[in-house]
Amino acid sequence: MIDDFVTAKALVDKIEAFAILHNYRLSKQDAAFTPDPEEVYLKETFLPNDTNPLGLAANSSDEQKPIYQVDIFTPKTFDSKFPAQAIANLIKAEFPRADFIVNTSEQTVKISNVSARPMPNNKTHLWTMVNIDLVVLACNS
């Protein structure tokens, strides 16, 4: 059985360490957060997906393909998209394709792809989204 908590916790721990290292505030999923219009901040969201069996037997392994989304918000006062693109590149380097986030006998979480794209801006910030596509496998025994 896939444990979404294990996956989400490993991901938030990793992005939290990244945010601390680079001195960015982090808005955690479902937590209250008030951004400063003059600061760079990150927002993380774990998006689980349907779990599918990999075989026909009741004890077949399960597979899930969730997405971990990290939004980058840079102040419009920067008047440039380049700071957000630089941060996106740092995040992509922190979450490289084929890296294992979790690798235990119960569950494996591997990064399958990482992509970044600009999004519509809000009143105070430019918004860039980084999608981290995952493959999660769990044994059922």
Average pLDDT for 108-131: 92
Greater confidence, 30 or 20? 20
According to the model, what pLDDT value does residue 86 have? 93
What are the boundaries of each domain within the chain? 4-138
Characterize 64-93 residue by residue with b for buried, 16 or more Cβ atoms within 10 angstroms of its Cβ, and e for exposed.
Answer: bebebebbbbbbeeeeeeebbeebbebbbe
> Looking at the whole model, is its pTM more than 0.75?
yes
What is the pLDDT confidence band of residue 75, given thresholds at 50, 70 and 90? very high
pLDDT of residue 79: 67
Domain 4-138 in CATH 2.30.40.10? The answer is no
Q: C-alpha 97: how far from its chain's center?
A: 13
